[in-house]
């Protein structure tokens, strides 16, 4: 996985973005649709699946553990599941490529099955700590041997029956929450996760849709999510809505490039995922939701985005969990806003595919943006609508979101921005540059 030859790219201003774009299927929902379908008894169909390297790593892992997964010529995926408790011992290590979501969620699935799985990944994933998932899964009885620092490669020996636990999340993490809930699927009794700060709730919505007995209630410490184990999941027909994280690049590009007017179709508007839209609207962005509807239990809309002058804001830290993946592109929007934008509360960015705070600071600074780095974010002094200077290099650090964010920065730069490697974009948005060409044709 993800051993692509580096692909350097110089990006320069191309004029306004015009037209209609459909973004790839939501990455979080795509991962979960494959996993839950593989645990259902019977055949599920999935339309709109994101076919990036991260999601394909999940598909390969579920195949290795017994599920039958095929893609039709019409792009519809069919999954014949093995049932909860039916995962088989894979014959070799599971290569997770660059996907932290696949790794943490699959660790949860395996933890309550009597199989032993070794997880490996690329250099970027192998540098990311897994300790926050290891801790609760160990409490449930799984034996986990990791590389130093709780990193990959990692061997997990599951146990059946596992022990149901009540676990309070020490940090806001939808992946850790989901790992515990997935381990709870095959654990007798009730497994609970207490969530002091709300995070994306795709697992809860989709597990209910598959027939799991799951409840969400408010308690004194936060949301209490309870799942009854030894569940029987029923096959589903899933339509994956467009990924709001992928849509974020076009939202910002259209907002900062004069004369732009685009419509982004079928975007997931789950309230735990719309932090970037809220922040951009606070800055004065023109983002209009059209034809709001519900698809497969998720709210969806088309977004019309037009160029608008942006003003600096202090980004409310409580938005962080609902836009954690979108901070890099928000930093780009702040670079052309009027005034000094302060975006903090994003400690999580330090342990993503790269240290996204340090990586974006270096990339923007090299291209003439004035900013200040904090432990949990950046303060950025914008150009007031003028192009950023550009003319410098940007190092992506094998991080797809850095590569795409700096591409958007190049569209609003006075001189080209030289990005060292845009190959990692394949992990989440294979058609990104094709779409860029069509919107700026």
Distances (CA, A) of 251 to 53, 254, 305: 24, 5, 6
Q: Considering only 7-16, 36-45, 156-165, 352-361, which range has the smallest mean pLDDT?
A: 352-361
* pLDDT > 60? residue 360: yes
Q: Please check whether residues 145 and 211 belong to one and the same domain.
A: yes
Domain end residue (candidates: 238, 253, 288): 238
- State residue 124's pLDDT score: 86
Q: Please check whether residues 144 and 274 belong to one and the same domain.
A: no
Number of other CB atoms surrounding residue 264 within 10 Å? 24
Q: Please check whether residues 18 and 36 belong to one and the same domain.
A: no
Q: Please check whether residues 333 and 416 belong to one and the same domain.
A: yes
For residue 2, being part of any structural domain is answered with no
* Dihedrals phi, psi of 202, to nearest 5 degrees: -60, -40
Domain end residue (candidates: 238, 262, 290): 238
Mean residue pLDDT across the chain? 95
* pLDDT > 50? residue 404: yes
Local confidence band at 172 (pLDDT 50, 70, 90 cut-offs): confident
* pLDDT > 50? residue 1: no
Binding residues: 27-28, 32, 100, 128, 173, 175, 325, 352, 356, 401
Residues paired with residue 47 on neighbouring β-strands, in sequence order: 239
Q: Please check whether residues 19 and 58 belong to one and the same domain.
A: no
Determine the average pLDDT of the residues in 390-411. 97
For residue 269, being part of any structural domain is answered with yes
Determine the average pLDDT of the residues in 75-89. 98
As a whole number of angstroms, the distance between CA 398 and CA 424 comes to 6
Domain end residue (candidates: 210, 238, 266): 238
Q: The pTM is what?
A: 0.84
For residue 33, being part of any structural domain is answered with yes
Q: Please check whether residues 348 and 420 belong to one and the same domain.
A: yes
Residue 300 near residue 268, CB atoms below 8 Å: yes
Local confidence band at 352 (pLDDT 50, 70, 90 cut-offs): confident
Residue 90, C-beta contacts closer than 8 angstroms, at least 6 positions apart? 61, 64, 65, 115, 117
For residue 317, being part of any structural domain is answered with yes
Catalogue the E-assigned strands of 48-199.
Answer: 68-71, 77-80, 94-95, 116-120, 143-147, 151-157, 166-168, 190-195
333 Cα distance to chain centroid: 20
For residue 166, being part of any structural domain is answered with yes
Q: Please check whether residues 54 and 37 belong to one and the same domain.
A: yes
Binding residues for 3-phosphoshikimate: 27-28, 32, 173, 175, 325, 352
Catalytic residue among 54, 95, 325, 399: 325
pLDDT tens digits, 21-40: 999 999 999 999 999 999 99
Q: Please check whether residues 152 and 201 belong to one and the same domain.
A: yes
pLDDT tens digits, 6-16: 999 999 999 99
Question: Catalytic site residue 325?
Answer: yes
pLDDT tens digits, 285-326: 999 999 999 887 789 999 999 999 999 999 999 898 889 899
Binding residues for phosphoenolpyruvate: 27, 100, 128, 175, 356, 401
Question: Of all residues in the chain, what percent carry a pLDDT higher than 90?
Answer: 89
* pLDDT > 60? residue 174: yes
- State residue 3's pLDDT score: 52
- Sign of the CA dihedral running 82, 87, 88, 92: positive
For residue 1, being part of any structural domain is answered with no
pLDDT tens digits, 407-421: 999 999 999 999 999
pLDDT tens digits, 183-237: 999 999 999 999 998 898 999 999 999 999 999 999 999 999 999 999 999 999 9
Q: Please check whether residues 247 and 295 belong to one and the same domain.
A: yes
Local confidence band at 380 (pLDDT 50, 70, 90 cut-offs): very high
Domain of residue 298, CATH code: 3.65.10.10
Number of domains in the chain: 2
- The separation between the first and the last C-alpha atoms of the chain, rounded to the nearest angstrom, is 32
Q: Please check whether residues 353 and 424 belong to one and the same domain.
A: yes
Question: Of all residues in the chain, what percent carry a pLDDT higher than 70?
Answer: 99
- Structural domain range at position 383: 9-25+241-439
For residue 4, being part of any structural domain is answered with no
Local confidence band at 2 (pLDDT 50, 70, 90 cut-offs): very low
For residue 337, being part of any structural domain is answered with yes
Q: Please check whether residues 170 and 140 belong to one and the same domain.
A: yes
Both structure tokens of 161: 């029956």
Q: Please check whether residues 385 and 352 belong to one and the same domain.
A: yes
């Amino acid at each position: 996985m993800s051993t692509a030859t580096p692909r350097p790219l110089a990006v320069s201003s191309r004029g306004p973005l015009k037209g209609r774009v459909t973004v790839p299927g939501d990455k979080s929902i795509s991962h979960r649709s494959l996993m839950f379908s593989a645990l259902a008894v019977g055949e599920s169909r999935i339309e709109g699946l994101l076919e990036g390297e991260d999601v394909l790593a999940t598909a390969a892992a579920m195949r290795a553990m017994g599920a039958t997964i095929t893609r039709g010529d019409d792009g519809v995926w069919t999954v014949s599941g093995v049932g909860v408790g039916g995962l088989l011992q894979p014959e070799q290590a599971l290569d997770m490529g660059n996907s932290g979501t696949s790794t943490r969620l699959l660790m949860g699935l395996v933890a309550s099955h009597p199989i032993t799985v070794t997880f490996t990944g690329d250099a970027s994933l192998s540098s990311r700590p897994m300790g926050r998932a290891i801790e609760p899964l160990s409490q449930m009885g799984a034996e986990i041997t990791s590389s130093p620092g709780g990193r990959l490669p990692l061997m997990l020996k599951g146990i059946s029956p596992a022990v149901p636990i009540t676990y309070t999340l020490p940090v806001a993490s939808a992946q850790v929450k989901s790992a515990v809930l997935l381990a709870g699927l095959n654990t007798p009794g009730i497994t609970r996760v207490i969530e002091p700060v709300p995070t994306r709730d795709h697992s809860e919505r989709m597990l209910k849709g598959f027939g799991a007995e799951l409840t969400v209630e408010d308690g004194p410490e936060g949301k209490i999510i309870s799942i009854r184990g030894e569940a029987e999941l029923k096959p589903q027909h899933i339509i994956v809505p467009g990924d709001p994280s992928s849509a974020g690049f076009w939202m910002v590009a259209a907002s900062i490039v004069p004369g732009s007017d685009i419509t982004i179709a079928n975007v997931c508007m789950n309230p735990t995922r719309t932090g970037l839209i809220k922040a951009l609207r606070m800055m004065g962005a023109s983002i209009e939701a059209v034809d709001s509807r519900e698809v497969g239990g998720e709210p969806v809309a088309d977004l019309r985005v037009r160029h608008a002058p942006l003003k600096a804001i202090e980004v409310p830290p409580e938005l962080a969990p609902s836009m954690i993946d979108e901070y890099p592109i928000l930093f780009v929007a702040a670079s052309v806003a009027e005034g000094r934008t302060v975006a903090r509360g994003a400690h999580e960015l330090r342990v993503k595919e790269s240290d996204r705070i340090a990586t974006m600071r270096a990339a923007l600074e090299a291209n003439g943006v004035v900013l200040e780095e904090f432990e949990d974010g950046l303060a950025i002094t914008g150009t007031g609508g003028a192009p950023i200077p550009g003319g410098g290099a940007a190092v992506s650090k094998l991080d797809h979101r850095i590569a795409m964010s700096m591409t958007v920065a190049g569209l609003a730069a006075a001189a080209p921005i030289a990005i060292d490697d845009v190959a990692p974009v394949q992990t989440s948005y294979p058609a990104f540059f094709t779409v860029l060409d069509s919107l700026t044709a």
